[in-house]
């Protein structure tokens, strides 16, 4: 999969050189390409933003530099799914991450700055995504969140794809069960006996029950209506 990002801060994406994503890139399972929007800026000052029509505080991103950058990337790599990172987009979740992980040849993420985008930019993209109901100063971290969430779903990236089934928002679509590792006792807190029993049927049952209870307590919104107690 290819992921292209249009941004005013390409240097921020060095954060994706590390860990699982870094290894996936070395293995050629994923490639990340940043494109500096400033290169498409207007005039000698390479302007990418301007004052809002109708007045108001802050600056708005002009459509022309973004259009030029989007056209340049999609001309070089046709078929990319273009995604605008914005608090006004659909909320990213695991289902969406799975969907994006299946899109070939990949994604073009647009990271904004300032107050946001000229409204006409929305006509140039396939989808708009938000990572949450809060406002950040830039779309770069949201773009990295999308890359992180999608990349680990790509075949071959995770050592054991089995873990994708059991984790939160996996097959059960609920929250993951409590996890424990050594030591058996820590500050007086012991690992539940069932996990030390070696009885895999009992362990599976305990985990499913714990996942149900935790989801009902912490995220009842995740429980489909028909399954609500
Ligand atoms: C955001 C979010 C977000 C809004 C103005 C960047 C900022 C600035 N993007 N999910 N939440 N973007 O806060 O995706 O341009």
- 128 CB contacts (<8 Å, ≥6 apart)? 83, 84, 86, 88, 89, 90, 122
d(CA 161, CA 151): 12
Mutate to test the pocket of ligand 1, among 136, 137, 148 (most ligand atoms within 8 A of CB): 136
pTM beyond 0.85, yes or no: yes
Q: Which residues of 37-50 are buried (b: 16+ CB within 10 A; e: fewer)?
A: beebbeeeeeebbe
- Please tell me the number of Cα atoms within 13 Å of 109 on its side-chain side: 31
**134 CB near ligand 1 (under 6 Å):** yes
pLDDT per position as a tens digit, 203-223: 999 999 999 999 999 999 998
Helix (H, G, I), strand (E, B) or coil at 73: helix
Check residue 163 and give its pLDDT: 78
**124 CB near ligand 1 (under 6 Å):** no
What percent of the chain lies above the pLDDT cut of 90?
A: 90
CA 217 to chain centre: 25
Give the sign of the dihedral formed by CA 31, CA 75, CA 60, CA 62: positive
Check residue 165 and give its pLDDT: 77
Longest dimension (CA), the chain: 71
């Amino acid at each position: 999969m290819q992921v292209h990002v249009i941004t005013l801060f390409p240097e921020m994406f060095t954060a994706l050189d590390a860990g699982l994503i870094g290894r996936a890139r070395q293995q050629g399972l994923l490639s990340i390409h940043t494109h500096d929007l400033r290169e498409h800026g207007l005039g000698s000052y390479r302007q990418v933003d301007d004052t809002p029509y109708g007045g108001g505080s802050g600056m708005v991103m002009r459509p022309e530099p973004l259009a030029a950058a989007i056209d340049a990337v999609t001309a070089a790599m046709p078929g990319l799914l273009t995604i605008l990172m914005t608090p006004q987009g659909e909320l990213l979740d695991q289902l969406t991450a799975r969907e994006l992980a299946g899109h070939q040849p990949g994604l073009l993420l647009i990271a904004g700055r300032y107050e946001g985008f000229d409204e006409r930019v929305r006509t140039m993209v396939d989808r708009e995504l938000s990572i949450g109901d809060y406002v950040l100063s830039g779309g770069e971290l949201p773009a990295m969140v999308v890359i992180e969430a999608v990349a680990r779903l790509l075949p071959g990236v995770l050592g054991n794809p089995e873990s994708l089934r059991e984790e939160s928002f996996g097959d059960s679509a609920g929250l993951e069960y409590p996890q424990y590792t050594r030591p058996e006792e820590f500050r007086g807190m012991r690992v539940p006996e069932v996990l030390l029993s070696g009885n895999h049927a009992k362990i599976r049952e305990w985990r499913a029950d714990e996942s149900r209870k935790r989801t009902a307590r912490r995220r009842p919104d995740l429980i489909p209506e028909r399954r609500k107690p």
